[in-house]
Amino acid sequence: MRVGFIGLGRMGANMVRRLVRDGHEVVAFNRTPERTREIMTEGVEGAFSLLELVGKLPAPRVVWVMVPAGDATEAMIAELMGLLEPGDTIVDGGNTNFHDDVRRHARVAEKGVGYVDAGTSGGVWGLEVGYCLMVGGDREAVEPLEPIFRTLAPADGYAHVGGPGAGHYVKMVHNGIEYGLMQAYAEGFEIMHASDYDLDLAQVSGIWRYGSVVRSWLLDLLYDALAMRFDEVNLRRDPACPLCSPKATILELQDYPAFCGAGRGRDTEPVDEIGAGELKRRLDAGEPIEIIDVREPREWAICRIEGARLVPLGSLAAHVGDLDPARTYVLQCRSGARSARALELLRQAGFRRLLSLRGGILAWAREVDPTMPTY
């Protein structure tokens, strides 16, 4: 099959490799282009935008999203929905809350797009041993994708467990059991470590792996950690070392920030911030303040502050000439990091009447307009 794949972290990249090894064609995209270029050296076709990725897939398209659950997945799917067509299918392979799956399934279905949730377990070892896949969604959306699922999973490691959200629901319970097992092992070995017996914990964990009812792969990993051996390397002291030689010249703690050119050693100005409530009060009072939203268009489409002007951070330098140095500007992004960088850029261009919205549009939604959708 030919599939689009978004997200090339350690797990996502290995899933792409496993698909390609079994003869599937993959068009891969990552927000950081270096990851895309890296995997292109392994026979994977790359794309450097979602538009390019969708354009390289034949209809009906299949796009697998493997990015962190929550805001990142929400924004990615929202952007994809502006590009996909009826008959296409989105697969969410992250750790999404199953309630979000149910909501997204209904939303994308309005456009005729399929939605499949795939609870995925296997971590970085999945490339060689396969990934356990717990898949939820409508049967007509899931069945055409089974060649992909059966490649990614080991024998008997894939199942269509139910309707929309069922895959991530089962994965949620799976994760709870996993964390419970780790906690039980941790407490049990701590009890043994604190006992009056001189127990070899590596030996105990080793024998528990054979015949015991508490044997598991997590116990295998615990044994590997407990059985580790370390080599001790003796280093010769440098007789001329200014720190540790008999003739040391450094006899007190150094001011590290000044020493390395950071902190007080740099001539930087603090970022001036304004809270969401204070900004609302000043706007309501009629102060001539203009808000510059430095997010991306896909984020702007989800939510925005009324009256704000969209100037993405990446294009801000090209629009400096459109701004008035005598005017007061409030820079705003999602959470405050990009607006701080935008403020520094404008400062370097000679602007002084600048503020950054503390906490970004998330703070505005939380403190000023709770009805605003967030991502």
Catalytic residue ranges:
171, 178
CB 349 within 8 A of CB 324: no
Query: What is the dihedral sign for C-alpha 25, 29, 33, 35?
Result: negative
* Whole-number Å distance between alpha carbons of 357 and 185: 46
C-alpha of 33 from chain center: 15
Token representation of residue 374? 């967030």
Q: Rounded to the nearest 5 degrees, what angle is found at the Cα of 96, between the Cα atoms of 63 and 337?
A: 90
**Secondary element (H or E) of residue 127:** helix 126-129
CB 193 within 8 A of CB 201: yes
Token representation of residue 342? 């935008």
Token representation of residue 98? 């199953």
Q: b/e map of 163-175 (b: 16 or more CB within 10 Å)?
A: bbbbbbbbbbeee
- Residue 44 DSSP symbol: P
Name the β-bridge partners of 5: 28, 64
Q: How is the chain split among helix, strand and coil, in percent rounded to 5?
A: 45, 15, 40
Q: Report the SS3 class of residue 264.
A: helix
| Best CA proximity match to 141, nearest among 163, 116, 166 | 116
Judge residue 235's burial from the number of C-beta atoms within 10 Å of its C-beta, 0-12 exposed, 13-18 middle, 19 or more buried: exposed
Q: How far separated are the first and last CA of the chain, in Å rounded?
A: 32
Peptide bond before residue 60 is cis, with ω within 30 degrees of 0: yes
* Whole-number Å distance between alpha carbons of 361 and 295: 10
Token representation of residue 362? 């998330």
